[in-house]
């Protein structure tokens, strides 16, 4: 069967429900590929509460977490494993700041984000924030890769 070629650093990317609904999947993957990163795995699914609780373990007790669950279960997401040199930092840089209203122009969130005024920040994408987070998150979304 086909094998992922990639060696080296990997990151988990989620294209969140607002981005999928707004037909931004191609544009977001285009930016990731244009930067030179390699797509290693790709899946479309609507996350369940257990998957989100594992993924957002550091946030489950925060006041905004119920809004995150409503947001993230509102429709399908695209989950991807992306590889490349210093890809964790690189994808964070491509995404921009958490809140699209302050994310810099030129970033995914800065260029494409909208302020919906909802209970969770709807910011189009997720990218793991460290190599350790990436390994943990890839095991959640792509158990077959680990
Ligand atoms: P992500 O984990 O999704 O890549 O985003 P991030 O690191 O930039 O932000 P983080 O602090 O990890 O927050 C995770 C996600 O929770 C939602 N959020 N809402 N105050 C709020 O309403 C609030 N704060 C965070 C966002 O969807 C954020 O991406
Ligand atoms: Mg985060």
Binned at pLDDT 50, 70 and 90, residue 2 comes out as very low
Residues having CB within 6 Å of any atom of ligand 1: 59, 64, 67-68, 98, 120-121, 123, 126-127, 129
> The tokens of 79 are what?
């989950």
Domains of the chain, start order: 10-145 (3.30.70.141)
> The tokens of 26 are what?
């191609």
From the candidates 126, 138, 140, 142, give the one annotated as an active-site residue.
126
Which residue has its alpha carbon closest to ligand 1 atom 27? 121
How far is residue 43's CA from residue 37's CA, in Å, rounded to a whole number?
A: 17
**Catalytic (active site) residue 126:** yes
> Is the whole model's pTM more than 0.90, yes or no?
yes
Structure confidence by residue, pLDDT tens digits, 57-68: 999 999 999 999
Containing 88, the helix (H) or strand (E) segment is helix 87-95
**Interface confidence (ipTM) of the complex:** 0.91
Residue 1 has pLDDT above 60, yes or no: no
């Amino acid at each position: 069967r086909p094998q992922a070629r990639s060696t080296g650093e990997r990151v988990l990317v989620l294209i969140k429900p607002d981005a999928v609904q707004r037909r931004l999947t191609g544009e977001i993957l285009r930016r990731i590929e244009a930067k030179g990163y390699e797509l290693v795995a790709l899946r479309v699914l609507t996350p369940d509460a257990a998957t989100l609780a594992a993924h957002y373990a550091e946030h489950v007790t925060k006041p905004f977490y119920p809004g995150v669950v409503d947001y993230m279960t509102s429709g399908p997401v695209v989950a991807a494993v992306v590889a490349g040199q210093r890809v964790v930092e690189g994808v964070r840089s491509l995404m921009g700041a958490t809140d699209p209203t302050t994310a810099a122009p030129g970033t995914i969130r800065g260029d494409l984000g909208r302020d919906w005024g909802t209970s969770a920040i709807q910011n189009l994408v997720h990218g793991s924030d460290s190599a350790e987070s990436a390994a943990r998150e890839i095991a959640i979304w792509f158990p077959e890769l680990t």
